[in-house]
Structure 1
Amino acid sequence: MGATKSVTDANFVNDVLQADTPVLVDFWAEWCAPCRKVEPLLEEIANEMGDKVRIVKLNIDENPETARAYRVMSVPTLTVFKGGEPVQSVAGARPKGDLVKLIEAAF
């Protein structure tokens, strides 16, 4: 992992909800094959978009409270937060272009 960062139940409020830029949260799990397909795309997007957006990963098995709070039923679920609120969300692996559009819709 390089440009993306891991978050936990403990630091979710600080790192996501109180962020001053949009944050894409990748709700994922170790056992999830589609999650592994999305990971390199998120790294590319994080590198390309730089400071305009933060991309973070939350392991739902290790951090069940946050996953439950946002009703994550399947992984990967990708949710964009802006101003402390979820504004866009998709479930399942998506092509890079779809992920970029998801993020850009939050600007």
Structure 2
Amino acid sequence: MSTSARWTAVALVALVGVVVALLTTLGGGGGGQGAAPAPTPSAPPVGTPPTDEPHTTLEPEAREASGLPECRDRAAAATTDGPVAGFLVRCMDDGTTTMLGKIQAGKPMLVNLWAYWCEPCRRELPALQAAQATLGNSVRVVISHTDPSETKGLDTLAALGIDELISVSDQDEELPTLLGAPPVLPLTVLVREDGSVARVLIEPMDTEQEILDAVSEHLGVTA
């Protein structure tokens, strides 16, 4: 074999090696592992509330993929008394509208008002999910995204792994006004089983125990 032929053969072998390596990298290393898992959604950045946030609502596919629990028991009788019982919200799990009284359905209720851009809210959400798991069915724990962008709210929940809390949208940000609350978030409303408001808390609660203590003190429910 001539010198030129030998170098041509070496070059071809090297080229084949590069192609195989590239295909192995793109294919996840072969070995039957399949495609790489989809990345976890990233939460929108925190900061101050936008002055011109557009109203956005979720597509049905996004609602179904969220895995959020149903926001009400359709067979349960609604709570009809109290200042928040008739307040309309959109259920993030299926896009329907309902009243907070229908979600409450005669049980003590905690409603946490939050927004995707609120950094203390993000710290509070995992603690709320842990508290709900501890409280079980003794208290309805509801999180209300108080911002026009429902899509950014769901993106934030997905990024934080919040998929076990009843989630609703207050896109016109009307609930704080109804309560006469200051324009701050997070804000937590503790509602007695008869629909009367026991307490409106305007400070964040960063731990499960802080939330359980508030529920015990203001609603008389202990875990």
TM tier relative to shorter chain: 0.7 to 0.9
Aligned to 1:8: 89
Aligned counterparts of 1:69 and 1:59: Cα–Cα separation in 2: 15
Map residues 1-107 of structure 1 onto 2, 5 A cutoff. 8=89, 10-11=97-98, 12-16=100-104, 19-62=105-148, 63=170, 64-72=173-181, 73-82=183-192, 83-94=194-205, 95-105=207-217, 106-107=219-220
How much is the aligned-residue C-alpha RMSD, in angstroms? Answer: 2.5
Higher Rg of the two aligned structures: 2
Gaps of 5+ in 2: 1-66, 72-87, 91-96, 149-169
Aligned counterparts of 2:70 and 2:114: Cα–Cα separation in 1: 13
Change (3 A) 1:4 1:47: farther
Considering Cα pairs closer than 8 Å and 6+ residues apart, tell me whether 1 or 2 has the greater RCO.
Answer: 1
Amino acid at match of 1:57: I
Offset, 1:85: 1.6
Offset, 1:4: 9.6
Offset, 1:97: 2.0
Asked if 2 retains the 8 angstrom alpha-carbon contact of 1:4 and 1:42, the reply is no
- Offset from partner CA, 1:24-44 (integer Å, 9 cap, x none): 000111100000000000000
Q: What is the percent sequence identity of the aligned residues?
A: 20
Offset, 1:2: 5.6
Aligned counterparts of 2:213 and 2:198: Cα–Cα separation in 1: 13
Range with bigger deviation, 92-101 or 39-48: 92-101
- Offset from partner CA, 1:44-83 (integer Å, 9 cap, x none): 0100110111100111224222221013321101111112
When the two structures are aligned, how many residues end up with a matched partner?
105
Q: Which runs of 4+ in 1 moved over 6 A?
A: none
Amino acid at match of 2:174: E
